[in-house]
Amino acid sequence: MENHGENPLSESLSVDPSALVPAETRRGRGAASNRSGRFERERREAADDGWRQSHGMEEAPASFQTSAKTEVMIDASRSVIARNASPDIPFDRSINPYRGCEHGCVYCFARPTHAYLGLSPGLDFETKILLKPNAPSALAKELARKSYECRPIAIGTNTDPYQPLEKTYRVMRGVLEALAAHNHPVTIVTKGALITRDLDILGPMGRRGLARVALSVTSLDHRLSRSMEPRASSPARRLEAIKALSRAGVPTGVMLAPIIPAINDHEIERIAEAVAAAGAVSLSHITLRLPLEVKELFREWLYETRPDRAKRVMGLVREMHGGKDYDPEWGARLRGTGVYADLIATRVEAARKRHGLTAEHGDLRTDLFRIPPRAGDQLELF
């Protein structure tokens, strides 16, 4: 649904229709705009002044024509394990094989990180992807350090390791091979059914207590899913991935993330029933988060696709975040607060119990960790 003309909704949502990239040149993408990153001194915005149409030329400006093409760049970082000390996150280290994500989820809380690269959290985030081809070798070096203390590594906490580019570049596959060689525990969050490609690694790791997976399921409605997360695996393929992982012996849970009021919150019970039937053993949830530039991008999505309920959606979002679009406080940012947030939490908990999605994940094993011998190594005599 396009809605680019004069419309009072644009003012109430703080949406500037002139900043939106023409729909035909961003087909299959999630963001509707591509504003400069917040740290840039100059702001560049492509604009069509109508000159081409007035001269019988139907093509959009070159800056629009290329905006939706994926560009792959190399991230040559020597260190691959990122550390965090956030009190509301259950891990202290993570790996992100990719920076940026082709899935294009319009609500993705990781979008603002692209601004640190001098890129836009909008279309740039899903079209200009940095990959770390040396991640497997860099990881092996870090794990081999005498000072390294083994704890589970989380993957997929920022951008998806099984986004479409992984099929070609296989960076995540290499990371898993390095972890498996070291008997190192790993947790994975993904929307990508491509994860089933790696069952030959994840199956044995899961059965030994070294791997756990969470599939993110946002909706069972194919059209809604395609609109919000255009290049992520379809809901049906995610359910099939849950079945395959479970059959292979990998403990598999589901994250209802994000729950968006008046958009997908009516699906909580249906999703719980479907993922339980697929073999999931647990269910958790996160409500919509709109940090920094994400709030503009999400408003634009509402303006274009859900104008009839946009005001209600944003009203409920603010209700869950103390009257603001987003509350970054630890403990509140993931679930929200207030009556509506409590209602969502109550419904999720009831659905968990009704469908047996109550498994408590124990700690993954760290006692199996070892540094594999390398060619040329001599046997230790003492």
In a domain, 10, yes or no: no
In a domain, 195, yes or no: yes
Q: For 274-303, what is each residue's pLDDT tens digit?
A: 999 999 999 999 999 999 999 999 999 999
Of all helices (H) and strands (E), which one includes residue 129? Answer: strand 128-131
Give the residue-averaged pLDDT of 234-243: 98
pLDDT score, position 76:
87
Mean pLDDT of the region 32-53: 69
Q: What is the pTM of this model?
A: 0.89
Of residues 220 and 50, which shows the higher confidence score?
A: 220
Domain that holds residue 326: 31-40+70-354
Is 225 within a domain?
A: yes
Q: Which residue has the higher pLDDT, 354 or 87?
A: 354
Interhelix angle 339-354/268-278, nearest 10 degrees: 30
Q: What is the mean pLDDT of residues 177-195?
A: 98
- Picking from 94, 20, 102, 108, the residue whose alpha carbon sits closest to that of residue 64 is 20
- pLDDT more than 70, % of the chain: 88
Number of domains within the chain: 1
250 or 51: which leads in pLDDT: 250
Domain assignment present for residue 360? The answer is: no
Q: Which residues pair with 94 in a beta bridge?
A: 82, 154
Mean pLDDT across 85-111: 91
pLDDT at 46 (0 to 100): 55
Specify the pLDDT at position 279. 98
Residue 57 placed within a domain: no
Helices (H), the chain: 8-12, 51-54, 62-65, 123-127, 135-143, 166-169, 171-181, 199-207, 222-228, 235-247, 268-278, 294-305, 310-320, 339-354
Q: Which amino acid is at 211?
A: A
What percentage of the chain exceeds 90 in pLDDT?
76
Q: What is the CATH number of the domain that holds 322?
A: 3.80.30.30
Q: In this structure, is residue 379 part of a structural domain? A: no
Q: Which of 233, 142, 250, 181 is nearest to 173 (CA)?
A: 181
